[in-house]
Structure 1
Amino acid sequence: MKKCVVVGGATIGNYEFVRKHIHETDYVIYCDCGLSHMEKLGVLPSLIVGDFDSHENPHMDTETIVLPTEKDDTDTVYAVKEGIKRGFTEFMLVGVLGNRFDHSLGNLAILMMLEAKGLHGMIVDDYSEITVLSSGGKEDVTDDCKFFSVLAAGGDAHGVNIENAKYNIENADIITNFPLGVSNEVPKGNTAQISVSQGRLFLIKVFNEGEK
């Protein structure tokens, strides 16, 4: 099934990198001032949602859900929930990190919300891909990324293994109050394996460091 792409209003500098992750068959939801990215992304909306407190309603010939300004869910959270209602199991969020740190943290929490529902989510920013690896999970990291980091997500993680990387660990704890897993590397020709027995990890694959 095609994935649901949610476009938020945080700054995007590297449109080329972000565009590579969006495909013609994707279902694209623009959230309020995320509409400011539409021209440079070159992707028309499948759905528009927002309270339009930071961007005017474009009144396009596209399904639009107008939200109240006072509500429990942010526009981005609402968009993801709407995607879930419409049957999507894979989500990608762009334009959701930066600008407002509180919103950035809240949007990282969306990845954990999706994981808890048995769904898959990824955040793509100018430099990286961010996913959640949960209990019993394993993931490969290839040498096409410059760096990768693993950080505790929503609590301490236990039984963490990193193999075939520059820095390897076995049955380790990645805890919330010490960033042990920042800036590892995959040697050329290798594929690193990451696994966790208990808890959740943010897995961040960094592909560039500011090139535009």
Structure 2
Amino acid sequence: MKAVIICNGNMDNYIYYNKYLEGAGLIICADGGAAHARKLGIIPHILMGDFDSINKDDYRYFEDKGVAIKTFPAEKDMTDAELAVSLALEKGCSEIVLIGAAGSRLDHSLANILLLKTMLDRGVKGYIANETNEITLIRDKIELDREEGVRITLLPLSERVEGVTTRGLHYPLVNATMPMGTTWGVSNEFSEDRAEVTLSKGVLIVIKSRE
């Protein structure tokens, strides 16, 4: 089952997110993400969080719609996004997409990227998506279809990523070792209609960025 978690970060072009919502068997709003859900014109299955950022009108709106509400204390060890991810994992979701998960709060944006590692460790496909970026993690391989104006960035998330080989990208890597902190995987380009990235050890952040 695919889950979509709507967070409280930046979202502007709401029509763009329809492709991520399509086929979702579980939609969770993390706190203030409820405002985005209303603008998207959807009714989530669950609204959850400590509700420190939700508009009272949005809360009442979804309460009146019969949406399940899970309330947590403000003083807690997990962000609202992590609580939502944990619930999606508990329900056995095989794919989780976070939207509204990046914004002006860099701490929350980075924390959400690290949540992808939790999903990866559980064998779940995890993505963060907004209008200009799509982020995922891999520890084996990924295939990428060419899109106009899209660049590919590869960043090590583990201390070393070994055996990195790319095909179909303008700047190739062949059995490369990428130490954490290197930037030479930033902003590659497609040279073919389909690209492939493989590695033998470690965890790699893969970012599709639209100009």
Both proteins in one fold, TM over 0.5: yes
1:156 and 1:173 in contact (8 A); partners too: yes
Q: Partner of 1:70 in structure 2?
A: 75
| Cα separation, partners in 2 of 1:41 and 1:174, compared to 1, 3 Å | farther
Please name the residue that 1:84 is paired with: 89
* Residue 11 (structure 2) pairs with residue 12 (structure 1): yes
- 1:124-135 aligned within 5 A: 124-134=129-139
Query: Which secondary structure state, in structure 1, belongs to the residue aligned with residue 164 of structure 2?
Result: strand
- Equivalences, count: 204
The superposition leaves residues 104-134 of structure 1 with CA deviations (integer Å, 9 ceiling, x where unpaired) of 1110011011101111111111212111111
SS in 1 for 2:118: helix
How far does residue 24 in structure 1 lie from its aligned partner after superposition? 4.9
Counterpart Cα distance in 2 of 1:68 and 1:43: 26
User: Match for 1:23: what amino acid?
Assistant: E
Higher helix share: 2
Name 2:162's counterpart in structure 1.
158
Provide the secondary structure at the position in 2 that maps to 1:87. coil
Matched, 1:175 2:150: no
How far off is 1:51 after superposition? 0.7
Report if the CA contact (8 A) 1:91-1:120 is conserved. yes
* Inter-partner Cα distance in structure 2 for 1:151 and 1:100: 21
Counterpart contact for 2:169–2:195, Cα < 8 Å: yes
* Structure 1 match to 2:143: 140
> d(CA) in 1 for partners of 2:23 and 2:164?
37
Please name the residue that 1:195 is paired with: 198
Aligned twin of 1:103: 108
1:193 Cα deviation after fit = 1.1
Q: TM-score normalised to the size of structure 1? A: 0.91
1:47 aligns with 2:46: yes
Distance of 1:149 and 1:66 partners within structure 2: 38
Q: Deviations over 1:144-180 (max 9, x none)?
A: 2511111111432111011121110101122221211
Q: Hey, what's the Cα distance between the residues in 1 that align with 2:162 and 2:24?
A: 38
Query: Larger deviation: 42-51 or 150-159?
Result: 150-159
Task: Show structure 2 runs of 5+ residues with no match.
Answer: none
* Identical pairs, percent: 31
Q: RMSD of aligned C-alpha atoms? A: 1.4
Q: Which whole-Å CA distance do the structure 1 matches of 2:94 and 2:155 have between them?
A: 24
Contact 1:165-1:190 at 8 Å conserved across structures: no
